A = this chain, B = another copy of it.
Amino acid sequence: MAKVTMALAQVNPLVGDIDANTRLVLEFARRAIDEHQAGLILFPELVLTGYPPEDLLLRPSLARRIDRALQALCEARLPIKLLVGYPRVKAGRVYNAAGLIDQGQLVAEYYKQCLPNYQVFDEKRYFEAGTQPCVIDLWGLPVAITVCEDIWQAGPMAQARDAGARLMLNINASPYHRGKTTERRALLKQRAVEGNMPILYVNQVGGQDELVFDGHSMAVDAGGKSLMQAPAFDAGLFTIELDLESGQLLPAQQTEDVCSLESVYRALVLGVRDYVTKNRFNGVVLGLSGGIDSALTLAIAVDALGADRVEAVMMPFRYTSQLSQDDASDQARRMGVKYHVVSIEPIYEAFMASLAPAFTGTQLDTTEENLQARCRGVILMAMSNKHGSLVLTTGNKSEMAVGYSTLYGDMAGGFDVLKDVPKTLVFELARHRNRVREVIPDSVITRPPSAELRPDQKDEDSLPAYPVLDDILERYVERDESAADIIAAGHAEADVRRVLRLVDINEYKRRQAPIGPRLTKRGFGRDRRYPITNGWSIGD
């Protein structure tokens, strides 16, 4: 046999459901045999638990459950070698393991050496680091096994090379963020060259709470040149041939990259679809205000779930313009979703009448604005409760950053689709989506953004223009620049100080915000852990 087919299982496991994930592994392995006569199939990191399992790793029955799953994989005695990831409990410690199953036996086991404990990752909370490389003989070829972060550092490849490996198998659960494909490619190239060996890289796909895994499995040759690339954001089984004489991988399917906007859009669609379906909601409901955030959220929801699983509710008040009402109903019609109009006027009046004794002698302020938002939140939640649907919230990253949103009002809901999408990107994505088919009325995109909580209110009355705001926010939140750095980059000091202060004092809102898909190198979730009680001054 001069050539062997290697299969990459770019699967979408359900975190915690070890039984279902084990069946998924068997199903893909059988397909790799039946459809491709493959000799080896690679599954992602921790495929048996899904990634990240978080504190499920602390459950006492974990070891038993994993043992049972591995036993089931062995007992299937499939005529293919299986490389699977799972947590291995050993002498009271847990390792992030990759095991090779061949002819009904676990023939090799590797423990991840580099444990990420930054950004969204907490692996040192759970895992003990391995200390040994694992190089095994496959059809006469010495092959190294590594797990995810191991390839982001230089050590494990150097070990593999020193141990005589001629091919690296790297199994991953690597979450998406904008631009990550480019980073990964450069990295694989560098490591392949360092080790002078080809690399097979398989990655999980799917949404898991705030993370979106993009798949995008790939292979590079010993010079780092791309030999194959699987699509992003879709599960699937992909193959590449290994020439046993030369030890080289042969060129295979090359899925073309999509543009950055399309990539973000697909990440959002996948994030919504998986959150809704994995949590078994009947569908979603959202407030449609006539503004661009809810318009884009609706388009994503329909693309993720189909129009029949999406309901939109316009909740007008005295400050809601006719244009907003027309645009909302127009968009609902274009997208074919069920559409309700529920005025909040009598509800607001009932609250104000009841609060009148407590509010005697006070002035109108943001209290009344928040009250409008909260009337709407309660209506959406009531519809969600009654119909078993999930409320999607529509707050974008710029709003989340500066607290331009109402807790228990427009923040009421289970999944915030645009949570990591800055407002300027909301506009780009809306235009991008409309290029396929114009589902968002043009006036929604071109009118100046307004919360419509006061007469003639515009967002830019209380915030810097969005391009300015978003640049300041990206520098502060994603790049950790200081106030001095941001001012030096050309922003007005008053803007910088105001925006940074707003970010700092609104941590309490974000702490109670719904989760949403992470798209950048720093989202407002597990990624950014700030104290609420916080005396840090903006200073320098």
Interface residues, chain A, with chain B CB atoms under 8 Å away: 14-20, 50, 52-56, 58-61, 64-65, 117-118, 122, 124-125, 207-209, 274-275, 278-279, 340, 342-344, 346-347, 349-351, 353-355, 357-359, 362, 365-367, 370-371, 374-375, 377-379, 381-383, 385-386, 407-408, 412, 414, 480-482, 484-485, 508, 511-515, 528-537, 539-540
Contact = CB atoms under 8 A, between A and B. Distances in A.
Closest 7 CB pairs of A and B: A17-B535, A16-B536, A367-B385, A350-B350, A408-B408, A14-B535, A124-B124
Contacts of A61: 482, 484, 539-540
Contacts of A359: 386
A414 B510 CA distance: 12
Contacts of A279: 508, 532-533
A470 to B, nearest CB: 20
20 contacts: A15-B531, A16-B535, A60-B482, A61-B484, A65-B539, A117-B124, A124-B124, A125-B529, A208-B531, A209-B531, A209-B532, A342-B354, A347-B350, A349-B350, A355-B383, A370-B385, A371-B378, A374-B378, A375-B378, A512-B512
A250 to B, nearest CB: 37
B346 A350 contact: yes
Contacts of A385: 365-367, 370
Contact of A480 (B60, B275, B351, B379): B60
A57 B419 CA distance: 24
A472 to B, nearest CB: 16
Given A382-B355, A482-B61, A56 B531 contact: yes
Given A15-B533, A414-B508, 10 more contacts: A16-B531, A20-B535, A55-B528, A59-B480, A61-B540, A122-B125, A340-B358, A358-B386, A362-B386, A374-B381
Contacts of A365: 385-386
A480 B381 contact: no
Given A350-B347, A366-B385, A381-B407, A209 B480 contact: no
A279 B531 CA distance: 11
A349 B209 CA distance: 36
Contact of A515 (B58, B485, B511): B511
A382 B370 contact: yes
Copy number in the complex reads 2
Contacts of A64: 540
Contacts of A353: 346
Contacts of A354: 342-344, 346-347, 379
A35 to B, nearest CB: 27
Given A16-B534, A208-B531, A533-B14, A514 B512 contact: yes
A279 to B, nearest CB: 6
Contacts of A346: 350, 353-354
A49 to B, nearest CB: 9
A533 B208 contact: yes
A50 B207 CA distance: 36
Contact of A382 (B19, B349, B367): B367
Contacts of A533: 14-15, 207-209, 274-275, 278-279
Which of A17, A375, A533 gathers most chain B CB within 10 Å? Answer: A533
A381 B369 CA distance: 12
Contacts of A344: 354
A432 to B, nearest CB: 27
A34 to B, nearest CB: 27
A279 B14 CA distance: 40
Contacts of A347: 347, 350-351, 354
A485 B65 CA distance: 16
B512 A15 contact: no
Contacts of A124: 117, 124
A529 B55 contact: yes
Contacts of A414: 508
Contacts of A342: 354-355, 357-358
A481 B124 CA distance: 23
A467 B374 CA distance: 37
Contacts of A340: 357-358
Contacts of A362: 386
A54 B408 contact: no
A513 B508 CA distance: 11
Contacts of A513: 512
Interface centre among A65, A359, A482, A536, by most B CB within 10 Å?
A536
A532 B515 contact: yes
Q: Among A359, A378, A414, which residue has the most Cβ atoms of chain B within 10 A?
A: A378
Contacts of A350: 346-347, 349-350
A281 to B, nearest CB: 11
A316 B424 CA distance: 46
A213 to B, nearest CB: 12
A371 B374 CA distance: 12
B412 A531 contact: no
